Amino acid sequence: MADRPPGTAAVQRALEVLRDRLDARTTAFLNSCVRCGLCADTCHVYLADGEAESMPAHKVERIARFFRRHHTLLGRLAPGFVGAQTLDQEGLNALAVAAFGRCTLCGRCALNCSVGLDPSTIIRFARTVLGAAGMVPNGIRANVDLALATGNNMGISREDVLETVTWLEQDLQDTLGDPAAAMPVDRRGARVLYAVNPREVKFFPLSLSAAAMIFHVAGEDWTLTSSDFDITNYGYFAADAGAARAIAGRLVARAEELGVEELVVAECGHGYRTLRWEAPEWLGRPFPFRVRSFVEVMADYLAGGRLRLDPGKNPERVTLHDPCNLVRNGGVIEEQRVLLRAAAKDFVEMTPNREDNYCCGGGGGILAASEHTARRIEAGRIKADQIRATGAKVVASPCHNCIDQLMELNRAYKLGVEVRTLAEIVADALVLPAKPAP
């Protein structure tokens, strides 16, 4: 937890946020839960640990009892009767475990709530309250601070980006045998700005070169940016509206500066969700460019005949993990299936799938919260069971956050699978144009 032990002042700040930041949506949700408990086994955390505290309704109750105590008549007059609780340090401690350790904001409970409320919105509000008390896990806070200070959550310098792109470009030219193959950077007037997860630059350059190959083969007019390229937004996970706005705002400003028609978000679930759906609300305006996931763009290329794929190049059984923020909360549902059917010889679905899919257990920023690692791996058991049941050798997922968690699950549960991005699988299946004559 935070380096500064929260005391009375922290509780006071939390109370102020509980009073000032309650919007109509959250208020309606807080007043709607009837504690029927039917949400319990829709949650992967509860399914994995079976603890009452992991039931979505229980997690909602952690903050709802403060709401009732401080913002309802009966809560003030008869707190014990309505289960209202004065917001205090002990309550905040319990709330922190519920909001950051037992919930990945995946939204599966929302889709299945019998009343029709969204517990993940309530949990995000709980995180805002905790943030005011300085109780955001240090790992999440550090990512926010680094992104605000350097422009990306890994503190990668412009020079490092340019150096990585230079050798990736050389590699691309060698692979394609085409010296004209390029990975343009900071090119004004390009049609597409491709923005990435810093992990791709630092740890997974293969997914970046796969995307470059796909853009090249599709004949796209595209560019990368050497600054403000980060699509991730830990401000969203911290439920820190100011930080989230600032982080998203910089990429939006960069896209406007470059004058692109389209901002294409690399394979990152929450990156897509925040830039496609949340950022216009945070910034208070629609954008002069379109925002799409790279998954949608690849599917469009395929449909338009700009990509030809040979599924025989991916002969092993492939299954798909649907990232919650891209699918259930983002609406990109079928495109990845279209791509995998074309790019892999033996594509099988997990059960359940699409918007009903289970979270991998690594969402909501929990990957950065090391104090919840054991809980995260335990919650991932549901996903591990799903993967094992498919008999797949390859798990595709269009989200680097999910991929990190899936790789850990692969080790923890001995699944014996390879975890890959969609772009990597599609790039492997590309039927390349004939090499130009020397």
Partner 1 sequence: MSPTALVLLAAMFTSVAAFVVLRLRTGSTPAPLAPARGSAAVGVLYAFTVAFAPWAKESASRHLPSYAAGIAYHVAVFTALVRLVHSLFGTPLPPVVNAATAALIAVGLMAGTALLLKRCADPRLRAISVPEDFFANGLVDLTLAAAFATAMSSGALPVFQIVGAVLLLYAPLGKLRHMLFLLTSRRVLGATLGRRGVRPASHPSGTGRG
Applying CB under 8 A, the residues found at the interface with partner 1 are: 23-25, 27-29, 31-42, 52-53, 55, 57-58, 61, 72-74, 80-83, 110-118, 276-281, 284-286, 290, 322, 327-331, 333-334, 349, 351-357
**Considering beta carbons, is residue 213 or 395 the nearer one to partner 1?**
395
**Considering beta carbons, is residue 222 or 289 the nearer one to partner 1?**
289
| In the complex, least distance from residue 262 CB atom to partner 1, rounded to whole angstroms | 12
Q: Shortest CA distance to 254 belongs to which of 166, 151, 168?
A: 151
**Considering beta carbons, is residue 109 or 210 the nearer one to partner 1?**
109
Q: Which residues share a beta bridge with 319?
A: 348, 395
| In the complex, least distance from residue 60 CB atom to partner 1, rounded to whole angstroms | 9
**Considering beta carbons, is residue 177 or 352 the nearer one to partner 1?**
352
| Encoded tokens for 227 | 């600054």
| In the complex, least distance from residue 199 CB atom to partner 1, rounded to whole angstroms | 25
| In the complex, least distance from residue 119 CB atom to partner 1, rounded to whole angstroms | 10
**Considering beta carbons, is residue 102 or 328 the nearer one to partner 1?**
328
| In the complex, least distance from residue 375 CB atom to partner 1, rounded to whole angstroms | 18
**Considering beta carbons, is residue 329 or 421 the nearer one to partner 1?**
329
| In the complex, least distance from residue 34 CB atom to partner 1, rounded to whole angstroms | 5
| In the complex, least distance from residue 308 CB atom to partner 1, rounded to whole angstroms | 25
**Considering beta carbons, is residue 12 or 351 the nearer one to partner 1?**
351
